[in-house]
Structure 1
Amino acid sequence: MKTLLIGNGLNRCLNTNIDWGNLLNSMKEHYHLKDKIHPDISFPMQFECIANHVSKQKHHKNVYTLLKEEIASKVKEIKAIDDKEMVPHSYFLKDKRYKRILTTNYDYVIEDYLKHTYNLADEDLTSNQKEIKYSLRRYRKLQDTYIFHIHGEADKPETLCLGYEHYAGTIQYLRGKLALKETSPLLHVLKNKQVTPDIIETYSWAILFLIDDIEIIGLGLDESEIDLWWLISYRAYLKNMHPEASRYIHNTITYHEIISEHSDLQYIKKRKSLFDSMDIQYTMHEVKHSNYLEGYYDIAKTIE
Structure 2
Amino acid sequence: MRNPILLIGNDINNISKGQSWKELLQDIVNFCLPEGSVQLDDRKPFPLLYEEIFLTAIRQAHINEADLKTFIAKKTLAIQSNEIHAEIRSLRPAHILTTNYEFTLEGVIPTAYDGIITERVFSIFRKYIVDNIHYWHIHGDCQNPLSINLGFEHYGGQLQQMRNYVVSGTTYSSPQTPKLSLVRRMHLKEPIREDSWLDLFFTKDIHIFGLSLDFVETDLWWLLTYRARQKFQKNTIPVRNALYYYIPAEFVKGAKFKLDMLAANDVKVIDIEAKDKPAYYREVIRRIRQL
Normalising by the smaller structure, the TM-score range is 0.7 to 0.9
Question: What amino acid sits opposite 2:145 in the alignment?
Answer: P
Q: Deviations over 1:119-143 (max 9, x none)?
A: xxx66x5523611111111100124
TM-score normalized with structure 1 length = 0.82
Q: What's the secondary structure of 2:234's corresponding residue?
A: coil
Partner Cα distance (1:147, 1:29) in 2? 32
Select the residue among 48, 55, 59 that pairs with 1:52: 55
Match of 2:8 among 6, 9, 15: 6
**Structure 2: how far apart are the matches of 1:149 and 1:110?**
10
Map 1:121-270 to 2 at 5 A.
125-128=112-115, 130-179=118-167, 186-189=183-186, 195-196=192-193, 199-200=194-195, 204-245=196-237, 248-260=238-250, 263=251, 265=253, 267-270=254-257
Percent of residue pairs identical: 28
| CA offsets 1:116-169 (integer angstroms, 9 cap, x no match) | xxxxxx66x552361111111110012432101111111110100001111100
Aligned to 2:98: 103
Once the 2 structures are TM-superposed, how far is the Cα of residue 91 of structure 1 from its aligned partner? Answer: 3.0
Distance 1:237 1:275 in 2: 13
Does structure 2 conserve the Cα–Cα contact (< 8 Å) formed by 1:139 and 1:148?
yes
| Structure-2 separation of matches of 1:42 and 1:106 | 19
Gaps of 5+ in 2: 170-179
Change (3 A) 1:191 1:221: farther
Contact 2:167–2:182 under 8 Å retained in 1: no
Give the whole-Å Cα distance in 1 for the aligned partners of 2:37 and 2:113. Answer: 45
Name the structure 2 match of 1:77. Answer: 78
Question: TM-score, normalising length from structure 2?
Answer: 0.85
Choose from 86, 90, 93 the match for 1:90: 86
SS at 2:143 equivalent: coil
Q: What is the CA–CA distance in structure 2 between the aligned matches of 1:112 and 1:220, rounded to whole Å?
A: 23
Kindly provide the CA deviation profile for residues 220-252 of structure 1, in whole angstroms up to 9, marking residues without a partner as x: 11001111111111111111111322xx10110
Count of aligned positions: 274
With over 3 angstroms needed to count, the CA separation of the structure-2 counterparts of 1:133 and 1:215, relative to structure 1, is: same
1:67 corresponds to: 68
Aligned to 1:22: 23
Contact 1:167 1:227 in 2 (8 A): yes
Which residue pairs with 1:294 in the alignment?
Answer: 279
- Asked whether the 8 Å contact 2:185–2:192 carries over to 1, the reply is no
Residue 118 of structure 1: aligned partner? none
CA distance in 1, matches of 2:123, 2:220: 13
Q: Structure 1: how far apart are the matches of 2:286 and 2:191?
A: 28
Distance 2:181 2:86 in 1: 40
> CA 1:194/1:35 → structure 2, altered by over 3 Å: closer, same or farther?
same
Mapped contact 1:25–1:34 kept (Cα < 8 A): no
Structure (1/2) with the larger helix percentage: 1
Distance 2:164 2:87 in 1: 37
Within 1, Cα distance between the matches of 2:77 and 2:214?
A: 25
Gaps of 5+ in 1: 116-121
Note the C-alpha offset of 1:187.
4.1
**2: CA distance, partners of 1:167 / 1:49:** 15
Q: Distance in 2 between matches of 1:232 and 1:14?
A: 30
Q: Pick closer, same or farther for the CA change 1:190–1:284 going to 2, 3 Å.
A: farther
State the match for 1:119 in structure 2: none
